[in-house]
């Protein structure tokens, strides 16, 4: 058995890509996209027609509508390949506007439903700002399920659990990147591998807390830099993995065992935490890594959203 098949015994495997032609070989259950992945995909010749067709069909419509229709077009293509759910992201430029995020999310769902896609097969991705979490809570009350992304800190995870969101995506690789850069030349890779990886430790802490207190929100580790980070989180609810790392897992025969265990987590001596807005903002402020990576991630997604706008306008 290869490592990918072994991982599927413990964890739901999710493909992290807009390049849906790469997905089929790995038979993931779900798939995730983001503005950067869609931008990357539409610049490939084999996907350019999706952008051109969308613009041709809806020329003259508002730019934000064209963007949403393109995202849904990619999502529908992905859903024709996988049996589960696709995550589609609300414009990152709305990360601090709860009301506008809800409105865009509802339109995305309406566009999917117009294509015959059931609401339960779509997760709306929203940045895990305080406003994003508030938007997600409202969407969940309306029956629209959410995936809270750009999650780097324990306080973000606690707030998402309180909001009863469907799923969170803690970013393993970007946490690892920050700590490696912070330590600089003194960083010893072997000392921060596997269970000692700071990104792995963050997801493990969140997973254990959720399972200890019966929080139903699913934990999906994301943003991986290497296979070791993935195997160290075997047993997590879901893991969303790039096609390149899926291929490495599929090519490896190394043994893989469960690393995270919900039953074991229930026995841990943890204390519950409640966060209001002030406590959330203070806790996030005190976490330099999470503060920096959240802001950086939103800026990067906004940059790529603007680039996608330009491609749509030029088509």
pLDDT of residue 124: 98
pLDDT per position as a tens digit, 11-26: 999 999 999 999 999 9
CATH of 3-314, one of 3.40.50.1000, 3.50.50.60, 3.40.50.1100, 3.20.20.70: 3.20.20.70
Which residues 6+ apart lie within 8 Å of 25 measured at CB? 250
Q: How far apart are CA 104 and CA 68, in angstroms?
A: 8
User: Looking at residue 148, what is its pLDDT?
Assistant: 98
- Residue 312 burial class via C-beta count within 10 angstroms: exposed 0-12, middle 13-18, buried 19 and up: buried
Write down the pLDDT at residue 30. Answer: 98
Distance CA 135, CA 30 (A): 23
Give per-residue pLDDT as tens, 168-205.
999 999 999 999 999 999 999 999 999 999 999 999 99
Alpha helices in the chain (DSSP H): 3-7, 35-42, 45-58, 63-79, 98-114, 130-141, 154-162, 172-183, 198-212, 227-231, 243-251, 262-265, 277-286, 288-314
| Residues taking part in catalysis | 125
Question: Looking at residue 52, what is its pLDDT?
Answer: 97
Both tokens assigned to 303: 């940059």
| 308 token code pair | 């996608």
Q: How many CB atoms lie within 10 A of CB 176?
A: 23
Residue 208 has pLDDT above 90, yes or no: yes
pLDDT at position 35 is 85
3-state SS class at 234:
coil
Domain ranges across the chain: 3-314
Interval 217-262: pLDDT, tens: 999 999 999 999 999 999 999 999 999 999 999 999 999 999 999 9
Label residue 117 by pLDDT band (50, 70, 90): very high
Residues 57-112 pLDDT 10s: 999 999 999 999 999 999 999 999 999 999 999 999 999 999 999 999 999 999 99
């Amino acid at each position: 058995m290869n490592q990918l098949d072994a991982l599927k015994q413990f964890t739901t495997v999710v493909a992290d890509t807009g390049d849906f032609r790469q997905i089929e070989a790995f038979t993931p259950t779900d798939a995730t996209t983001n503005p950067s992945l869609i931008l990357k995909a539409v610049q490939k010749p084999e996907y350019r027609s999706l952008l051109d067709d969308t613009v041709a069909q809806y020329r003259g419509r508002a730019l934000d509508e064209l963007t949403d229709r393109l995202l849904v077009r990619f999502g529908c293509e992905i859903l024709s390949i996988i049996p589960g759910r696709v995550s589609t992201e609300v414009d990152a430029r709305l990360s601090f506007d709860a009301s506008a995020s809800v409105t865009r999310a509802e339109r995305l769902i309406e566009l999917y439903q117009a294509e015959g896609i059931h609401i339960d097969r779509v997760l709306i991705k929203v940045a895990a700002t305080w406003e994003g979490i508030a938007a997600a809570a409202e969407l969940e009350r309306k029956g629209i399920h959410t995936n809270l992304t750009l999650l780097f800190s324990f306080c973000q995870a606690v707030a998402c659990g309180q909001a009863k969101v469907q799923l969170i995506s803690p970013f393993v690789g970007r946490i690892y990147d920050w700590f490696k850069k912070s330590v600089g030349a003194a960083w010893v890779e072997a000392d921060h591998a596997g269970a000692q990886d700071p990104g792995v430790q963050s997801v493990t802490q969140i997973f254990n807390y959720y399972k200890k207190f019966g929080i139903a929100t699913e934990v999906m580790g994301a943003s991986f830099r290497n296979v070791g980070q993935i195997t160290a989180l075997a047993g997590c609810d879901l893991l969303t993995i790039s096609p390149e790392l899926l291929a490495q897992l599929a090519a490896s025969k190394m043994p893989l065992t469960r690393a995270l265990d919900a039953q074991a987590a229930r026995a841990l001596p943890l204390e519950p935490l409640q966060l209001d807005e002030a406590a959330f903002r203070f806790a996030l402020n005190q976490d330099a890594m999470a503060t920096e990576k959240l802001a950086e991630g939103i800026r990067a997604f906004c940059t790529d959203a603007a680039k996608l706008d330009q491609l749509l306008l030029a088509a």
